[in-house]
């Protein structure tokens, strides 16, 4: 089987806008949560978000081009440029007809929709933003990344809610293995901290409301006092290529993208299926695809949303997939630091796995002060620990019952 490897990574996140800053924050257990600043949230039940800070799109794209992009697209281009550069592809002779883009997105340019709709109501259709459609639709992140690099191969968007970024990596893996592409720019992006999106999630009773005055404590996966997720934003992008292609051009290989599995609960539009069987199936499929036994996975980066429903169900899911090994395996949710980055979450958390393998470090679950009895895994509370990691898995669960998992392995 053709082996797929990762040669570049890029990130824009609430705790850092490059790989080094992001990873230092993860290792230090730094929270990226705070009061919402994008709009007046005083009338909202939840007034907390994990916003990207100090983001300068002009470091990655022309200012005129940036003004024609929604925030989620700007994030995607920035993370893609970082990954492209780290992979040594800038100025290279890579065959752009054999290069592809697969980016996950969930909500698109919702702030553009809000702005244009407000102008429609206030001043009529002639005052709407001229580029409303191309700035708003979810595929424009992938399209703009292709334009930025001149990529001529397949360019597509996965839309599976919070599993979108993980599914994008799975699609990239399949494209490389099948020979349909030598190089794939893959990941996920989201920029949905807006009044409309936050209000809609509030109506679902999905967001944390108990910690408005202490926002950094609000995302607390597996903790008995959790009360909902915290919306985040950003992008995570990796360069996936065939091992042969990477070696032929002398690229530095960071990690192997070894396996992918996906399933659907077919149960409910928002709630996970109570038994956890669907998520466990996705994990087992990813392990089988990677040809690795459950005991070979030292670290599992959990979906870990900090909601009442997700965390105990995911605990059962992990136990079913990993069996007795689940008692020994390290598990953590880095959403405790980044918030829930929606479509970007899975890609960013796969990057966490790659860095954990590289440095032999198990990231912490911060705010895990009092573990829920129904969440009895080793969730690395508060402080990360060092250890050997030859393989790691990252799973994502999305509205609609979407389950996805990727397995990454140390490259030898």
Residue 264 annotated in active site = no
Packed helices 345-359 and 19-28: angle between N→C axes, nearest 10 degrees: 80
Burial of 267 from C-beta contacts in 10 A (0-12 / 13-18 / 19+): middle
In this structure, what are the phi and psi dihedrals at residue 263, rounded to the nearest 5 degrees? -160, 175
Report the 10 Å Cβ neighbour count for 165. Answer: 40
Residue 402 annotated in active site = no
Write down the catalytic residue from 202, 303, 375, 379: 303
Report the 10 Å Cβ neighbour count for 329. Answer: 20
Cβ-contact 139, 164 below 8 angstroms: no
Cβ-contact 171, 151 below 8 angstroms: no
Helix (H) / strand (E) element for 280: namely helix 277-290
**What is the distance between the alpha carbons of residues 228 and 292, in angstroms, rounded to a whole number?**
34
Write down the catalytic residue from 340, 375, 379, 402: 340
Contacts of 71 (CB under 8 A, 6+ apart): 109, 111, 191, 233
Give the start-end residues of each E strand in 191-301: 234-242, 255-264, 299-301
**What is the distance between the alpha carbons of residues 165 and 170, in angstroms, rounded to a whole number?**
9
**What is the distance between the alpha carbons of residues 230 and 220, in angstroms, rounded to a whole number?**
10
Contacts of 61 (CB under 8 A, 6+ apart): 69, 74, 77, 78, 81, 148
**What is the distance between the alpha carbons of residues 216 and 339, in angstroms, rounded to a whole number?**
10
Q: Is 258 helix (H, G, I), strand (E, B) or coil?
A: strand
**What is the distance between the alpha carbons of residues 337 and 18, in angstroms, rounded to a whole number?**
16
Q: Cite the active site residues.
A: 162, 303, 340
């Amino acid at each position: 089987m053709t082996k797929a490897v990762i040669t570049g990574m890029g990130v824009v996140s609430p705790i850092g806008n490059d790989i080094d800053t992001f990873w230092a924050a993860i290792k230090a257990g730094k929270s990226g949560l705070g009061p919402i600043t994008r709009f007046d949230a005083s009338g909202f039940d939840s007034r907390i978000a994990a916003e990207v800070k100090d983001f300068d799109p002009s470091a990655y794209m022309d200012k005129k081009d940036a003004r024609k992009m929604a925030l989620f697209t700007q994030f995607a281009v920035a993370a893609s440029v970082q990954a492209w550069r780290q992979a040594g592809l800038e100025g290279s002779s890579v065959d752009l007809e054999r290069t592809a883009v697969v980016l996950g997105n969930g909500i698109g340019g919702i702030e553009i929709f809000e702005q244009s709709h407000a102008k429609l109501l206030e001043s009529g259709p002639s005052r709407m933003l001229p580029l409303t459609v191309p700035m708003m639709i979810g595929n424009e992140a992938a399209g703009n990344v292709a334009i930025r690099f001149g990529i001529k191969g397949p360019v597509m968007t996965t839309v599976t809610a919070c599993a979108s970024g993980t599914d994008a990596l799975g699609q990239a893996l399949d494209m490389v293995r099948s020979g349909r592409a030598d190089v794939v720019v893959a990941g996920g992006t989201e920029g949905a901290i807006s009044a409309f999106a936050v209000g809609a999630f509030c109506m679902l009773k999905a967001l944390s409301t108990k910690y408005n005055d202490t926002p950094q404590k609000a995302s607390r996966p597996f903790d008995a006092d959790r009360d909902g997720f915290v919306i985040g934003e950003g992008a995570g992008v990796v360069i996936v290529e065939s091992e042969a292609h990477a070696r032929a051009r002398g690229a530095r290989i960071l990690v192997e993208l070894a396996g992918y599995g996906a399933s659907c609960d077919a149960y409910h539009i928002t709630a996970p299926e109570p038994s956890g069987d669907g998520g466990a199936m996705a994990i087992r499929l990813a392990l089988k695809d990677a040809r690795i036994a459950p005991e070979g996975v030292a670290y599992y980066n959990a979906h870990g949303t900090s909601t009442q429903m997700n965390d105990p169900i995911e605990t059962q899911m992990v136990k079913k997939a990993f069996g007795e090994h689940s008692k020994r395996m390290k598990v953590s949710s880095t959403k405790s630091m980044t918030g829930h980055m929606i479509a970007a979450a899975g890609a960013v958390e796969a990057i966490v796995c790659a860095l954990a393998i590289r440095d032999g470090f198990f990231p912490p679950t911060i705010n895990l002060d009092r573990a829920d009895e129904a969440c009895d895994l080793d969730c690395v509370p508060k402080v990360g620990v060092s250890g050997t990691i030859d393989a790691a898995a990252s799973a994502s669960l999305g509205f609609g019952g979407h389950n996805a998992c990727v397995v990454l392995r140390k490259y030898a």
